Copies of this chain bind each other. A is one copy, B any other.
Amino acid sequence: MKTYGFGVDIGGTTVKLGLFRTDGELLDKWEIPTRKEDGGSRILPDVADSIKAKLEEKGIDGADVQGIGVGVPGPVTPEGVVRKCVNLGWGVFNVEEKLSELTGYPVKAGNDANVAALGEMWQGAGKGAKSLVMVTLGTGIGGGVIIDGHIVAGATGAGGEIGHLPVNDQETLVCGCGKKGCLEQYASATGVVTLTKRVLEASDEPSSLRELTELTAKDTFDAAKAGDALALEVLEQFGQILGKGLATIACVVNPEMFVIGGGVSKAGKIITDVVEKYFIPNTFHACREAQFKMAELGNDAGIYGCVKMIL
């Protein structure tokens, strides 16, 4: 094992990079813009240049670099092939081979949500666990399944796509994936807004939420904490849908813990409490011991998980 490694979490707006010691210590982190023009062809060369510059800045000998782990916002096969990252303008190609050519280092690639799960397991909320499912409640829902310390990448790179669990046959709105009634249509930040608008429309009761013009998930959870009856109704619906979704996942992989992250999770304990309330009665009895924890690494989970892949 060499002394240094890089974690590179490629997002639609910025690329987050981290220089790590291979014992897990984060030495430096920084960002570069994601240049999506020309089919995203500049993204990996920009990453390679940034890594080279960082090595020069720190006076680190390139021979002492173990490798580079890369997270991308889309499916990645176990062989490192991305299958269209719409957010980056990418088509189908092997990210590992390409970045390895550009840098000369071994490269391992993974889906960003899966990699974040691995990061939380290694240095965050899941430290010490052998298996966990991470649920990132952001604009959409990302998921990562870790079993025996390894990412379940899936046969076509779609392991942990739990935002698209079918949870409602009756839905009329179409999810970004093209289906109707996906988990992320209700339990993501945008999903909570949908639930809130529906609850407000279906009732004549007063609510502090009616005064807001640009409703956010945070508004709903803040109102619930303040005791607003309709916001509490949304919270219950959210818990019922997400708790049952996680109950389903537990019947499949029976994880030691669920780690909840992403913007929505900032609402705190009311989230894990209401999810656990509906998780327990819906899952198989032997799966009920699963712990629920808040993510600890925030936006750094990705770079931690990336570098872990090459250790």
Contacts and interface: CB of A to CB of B under 8 A. Distances in A.
Interface of A: 75, 78, 83, 130-131, 143, 145, 147-148, 150, 152-162, 164-166, 177-179, 244, 247-256, 281-287, 289-290
The secondary structure that dominates the A interface is loop
Contacts of A157: 254, 286
A156 B75 contact: no
Nearest to A278: B166
Given A130-B155, A289-B156, A284 B177 contact: yes
Contacts of A285: 177-178
Contacts of A251: 158, 161-162, 164-166
Contact of A158 (B152, B177, B248, B286): B286
B244 A152 contact: no
Contacts of A164: 251, 283-284
A166 B282 contact: yes
Contact of A287 (B147, B148, B161): B161
A153 to B, nearest CB: 8
B165 A256 contact: no
